[in-house]
Amino acid sequence: MELNESSITDDLLKTWDNEFDSMVQDRLEMGKRDYGSLGFVKNDVWTMAKEEVVDLANYARFLYYKISAIEEVVEHYKGDE
């Protein structure tokens, strides 16, 4: 799918929003089961958040690698035209 203003419809954005909201709610419920409803009070959420930010940075790195690899494949096949 080419990303442009016509390919990303309001319905598609709504679908993505709903998926994201559902995932957030699922994770909240999982956290309540694992840590209790007030787990954020007794747990070191600052350290946990910093660790999550580091994880996100690494996920961004891995996505960069994947995007770069996909670009190389696309360039390879474009050369075959």
Domain boundaries, given as residue ranges, for the chain: 1-39, 44-81
Structure tokens at 19: 């998926």
DSSP 8-state code for residue 9: -
- Confidence tier at 79 by pLDDT (50, 70, 90): confident
**Predicted TM-score (pTM) of this structure:** 0.64
Residue type for position 49: A
Place of tokens 């787990």: 39
Taking CA atoms, 13 is separated from 10, 17, 18, 25, in Å, by 5, 6, 9, 18
Asked if residues 1 and 7 have their Cβ atoms less than 8 Å apart, the reply is: yes
User: What are the pLDDT digits (tens) for 13-60?
Assistant: 999 999 999 999 999 999 999 999 999 899 999 999 999 999 999 999
